[in-house]
């Protein structure tokens, strides 16, 4: 009798990344072991210098012991040296799957799963997904009629800086959608929302419009997941791919308000400049890789027929869960083919 395949997940410090790993393992249907990686300062070195090693870890994880796994799934560049070390210890038998961008040559992996914002070059073992791997909603859509239109205000990053004009556009479009559906409006902020923007948005809301301020509430009693499942339509700022994925997987229409890039990034990567090529093609560079390019992600969604440019700016995504499910099934078939039971 064939023993079940051994699948290990290399967890890091980012909750969103770990959630993607767990969601993929759950969809794969195989039992998995979680290996928590704790990084030291050497993790800042390029992966080419670290090679197949544990030099970037604060000691070898106790769970990383024989029998070695059949499949290792990692995410983010920092997990790559440990994944390659595990393959070396298995005598080359362990298969490697990587999510995101590894900042290492594709030949080191059996399968790469990435999305459009990472500007990864094409490869035979690379699958470019429309959106990051997503777990089902914790709160499924309500069985009865929708209760509201949901607006989600994101936040700043080192490439994006939201302003009051963006928050105002979000509120304007969400109110128009609420009027079209004949429903009230619910508004939620995120952990990255600047308090000044949350306060400005709150000041413009009416008494009948529900509001959840993440910082004011300290993240407690967050209705975000519940509100997602109750929405007839979702309007959000385009600064977070994970929030976009949450919205799209509800199966309701989604509007995206473009998030303004920081002036320095717009300046150096404007069309016609040499760094434009770096932004569009350099996602897997070992050193100096560009930041995620959300415009490239939306261009990819447009090319797939999953998004249309909004005449007022931003994008509109009609319900597209069926297309995303078909994409996931195809990716899972490629992944299952790596397991020993499929050989």
Q: How many Cα atoms occupy the beta-carbon half-sphere of 23 within 13 Å?
A: 16
The residue ranges of DSSP E strands in the chain, in sequence order, are 7-11, 32-36, 71-75, 95-99, 111-115, 126-129, 148-153, 185-189, 210-212, 231-237, 254-257, 308-309, 315-317
Q: What is the mean pLDDT of residues 297-311?
A: 96
Fold of 7-135+325-342: Rossmann fold (3.40.50)
Mean pLDDT for the chain overall: 93
Token look-up 């959000």 returns 236
Task: Label the pairing between strands 254-257 and 315-317.
Answer: antiparallel
Q: What is the mean pLDDT of residues 132-141?
A: 67
Structure tokens at 328: 């996931």
Which pLDDT score, from 0 to 100, does residue 342 have?
47
pLDDT digits (tens, 9 = 90+) for 159-186: 999 999 999 999 999 999 999 999 999 9
Q: How sure is the predictor about 341, in pLDDT bands with cuts at 50, 70 and 90?
A: low
Spans of all domains in the chain? 7-135+325-342, 148-321
Q: Is the pLDDT of residue 329 over 60?
A: yes
Q: Is the pLDDT of residue 150 over 80?
A: yes
Q: What is the mean pLDDT of residues 211-238?
A: 96
pLDDT digits (tens, 9 = 90+) for 229-287: 999 999 999 999 999 999 999 999 999 999 999 998 888 888 888 888 888 889 999 98
d(CA 55, CA 33): 22
**To the nearest whole percent, how much of the chain has pLDDT over 70?**
96
Spell out the residues 6+ positions from residue 201 whose beta carbon is closer than 8 angstroms to its own: 153, 167, 170, 171, 187, 189, 211
Give the CA distances from residue 338 to residues 77, 113, 155, in Å, rounded to whole numbers and listed in that order: 22, 14, 39
Element (H, E) at 321: helix 321-336
By three-state DSSP, how is residue 102 classified?
coil
The helix-helix angle for 164-181 and 195-203 (nearest 10°) equals: 40
For the question of whether the overall pTM of this predicted structure is more than 0.85, the answer is: yes
**Residue 218, Cα to own-chain centre: how many angstroms?**
23
Domains 7-135+325-342 and 148-321 share a fold: yes
Residue range 148-321 forms a domain whose CATH class is: alpha beta
CA nearest to 9, candidates 96, 125, 90, 118: 96
Which pLDDT score, from 0 to 100, does residue 343 have?
44
By three-state DSSP, how is residue 291 classified?
coil
CA nearest to 257, candidates 118, 175, 149, 151: 151
Which pLDDT score, from 0 to 100, does residue 25 have?
95
Which pLDDT score, from 0 to 100, does residue 244 have?
96
Q: How sure is the predictor about 141, in pLDDT bands with cuts at 50, 70 and 90?
A: low
d(CA 162, CA 55): 38
Q: How sure is the predictor about 135, in pLDDT bands with cuts at 50, 70 and 90?
A: confident
d(CA 99, CA 208): 42
d(CA 185, CA 234): 10
């Amino acid at each position: 009798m064939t023993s079940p395949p051994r699948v290990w997940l290399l967890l890091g410090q980012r909750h969103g990344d770990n959630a993607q790993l767990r969601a993929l393992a759950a969809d794969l249907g195989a039992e998995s072991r979680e290996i928590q990686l704790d990084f030291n300062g050497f993790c800042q070195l390029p992966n080419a210098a670290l090679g197949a090693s544990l030099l970037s870890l604060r000691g070898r994880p106790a769970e990383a012991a024989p029998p070695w796994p059949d499949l290792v799934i990692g995410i983010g560049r920092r997990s790559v040296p440990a994944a390659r070390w595990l393959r070396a210890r298995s005598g080359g038998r362990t298969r490697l799957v990587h999510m995101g961008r590894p900042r290492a040559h594709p030949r080191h992996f059996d399968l790469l799963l990435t999305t459009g914002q990472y500007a990864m070059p094409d490869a035979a073992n690379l699958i470019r997904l429309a959106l990051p791997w997503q777990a089902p909603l914790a709160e499924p859509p309500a069985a009865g009629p929708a209760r509201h239109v949901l607006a989600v205000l994101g936040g700043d990053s080192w490439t994006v800086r939201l302003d009051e004009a963006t928050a105002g556009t979000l509120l304007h479009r969400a109110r128009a959608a609420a009027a079209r559906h004949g429903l009230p409006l619910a508004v939620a902020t995120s952990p990255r929302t600047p308090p000044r923007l949350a306060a400005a948005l709150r000041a413009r809301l009416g008494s009948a419009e529900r509001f959840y301020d993440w910082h004011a509430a300290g993240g407690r009693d967050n209705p975000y997941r519940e509100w997602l499942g109750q929405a007839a339509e979702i309007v959000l700022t385009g600064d977070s791919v994970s929030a976009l994925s949450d919205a799209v997987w509800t199966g309701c229409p989604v509007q995206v308000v473009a998030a303004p890039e920081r002036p320095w990034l717009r300046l150096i990567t404007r069309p016609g400049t040499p760094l434009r090529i770096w932004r569009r093609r350099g996602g897997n560079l070992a050193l100096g890789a560009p930041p995620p390019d959300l415009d490239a992600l939306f261009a990819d969604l447009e090319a797939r027929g999953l998004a249309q440019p909004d005449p007022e700016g931003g994008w509109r995504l009609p319900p597209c869960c069926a297309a995303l499910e078909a994409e996931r099934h195809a990716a899972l078939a490629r992944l299952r083919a790596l397991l020993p039971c499929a050989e």
